[in-house]
């Protein structure tokens, strides 16, 4: 099932990629600059590791641009926070306390919140199977610039 609402009007980049005809182009929609997205300086080493693992393929496919750097940094940070919360729950257990003072681990809320954020932000970059189907990506044989020849 497709996404709700009217289909998005293609941009000039869609014509270059061969996704649409020139007559269907929204000439007023800006395209991001043709520079490589760089990780923001505020990322910690773990989040930077997530960036370095995923960003090269997203940049090569034209999905991650400089305009998207902060949103992708938020995704990377969510991955790290999720991982840390899961490790805390694994170490201490899902339930804390004993007897009548038994309660769930507070980090479970962090796990849930960060997982939801990962799904939302990851979907914007095609990092989930259902969202990948809605993002047109060039063939893997292209020259890596994200544009079809």
Interval 81-119: pLDDT, tens:
999 999 999 999 999 999 999 999 999 999 999 999 999
Same domain, 26 and 51: no
CB 70 within 8 A of CB 104: no
Residue 8, pLDDT > 80, answer no
Same domain, 49 and 26: no
Domains identified in the chain, total number: 2
Q: How far apart are CA 43 and CA 76, in angstroms?
A: 8
**pLDDT (0 to 100) of residue 120:** 94
Q: How far apart are CA 119 and CA 108, in angstroms?
A: 17
Mean per-residue pLDDT for 133-146?
54
For residue 129, how far is the Cα from the chain centroid? 12
Mean per-residue pLDDT for 110-134?
90
Q: How far apart are CA 139 and CA 144, in angstroms?
A: 9
Phi-psi region of 134 (alpha: psi -120 to 50; beta: other; left: phi over 0): alpha
CB 63 within 8 A of CB 71: no
Mean per-residue pLDDT for 67-88?
97
* DSSP element (H, E) containing 121: helix 107-124
Q: Residue 105 corresponds to which tokens in the numbers above?
A: 């681990």
* Structural domain contains residue 140: no
Which residues does 11 contact at the CB level (< 8 Å), separation at least 6?
25, 26, 29, 30, 31
* Structural domain contains residue 75: yes
Q: Residue 112 corresponds to which tokens in the numbers above?
A: 């849930």
Domain range for 7? 1-31
Nearest alpha-carbon partner for 126 in 45, 64, 52: 64
Same domain, 45 and 106: yes
pTM: predicted TM-score of the whole model, two decimal places: 0.72
Same domain, 61 and 122: yes
Same domain, 20 and 79: no
Nearest alpha-carbon partner for 62 in 108, 17, 25: 17
Same domain, 71 and 122: yes
Same domain, 56 and 109: yes
């Amino acid at each position: 099932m497709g996404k709700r609402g009217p289909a998005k009007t293609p941009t000039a980049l869609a014509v270059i990629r061969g996704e649409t005809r020139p007559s269907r182009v929204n000439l007023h929609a800006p395209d991001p600059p043709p520079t490589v997205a760089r990780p923001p300086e505020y990322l910690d080493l773990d989040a930077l590791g997530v960036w370095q693992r995923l960003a090269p393929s997203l940049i090569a496919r034209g999905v991650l641009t400089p305009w998207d750097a902060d949103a992708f940094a938020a995704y990377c940070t969510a991955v790290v926070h999720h991982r840390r919360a899961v490790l805390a729950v694994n170490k201490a257990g899902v339930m804390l306390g004993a007897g009548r003072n038994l309660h769930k681990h507070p980090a479970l809320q962090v796990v849930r919140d960060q997982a939801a954020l990962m799904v939302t932000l990851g979907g914007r970059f095609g990092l989930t199977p259902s969202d990948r189907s809605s993002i047109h990506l060039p063939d893997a044989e292209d020259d890596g610039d994200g544009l079809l020849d």
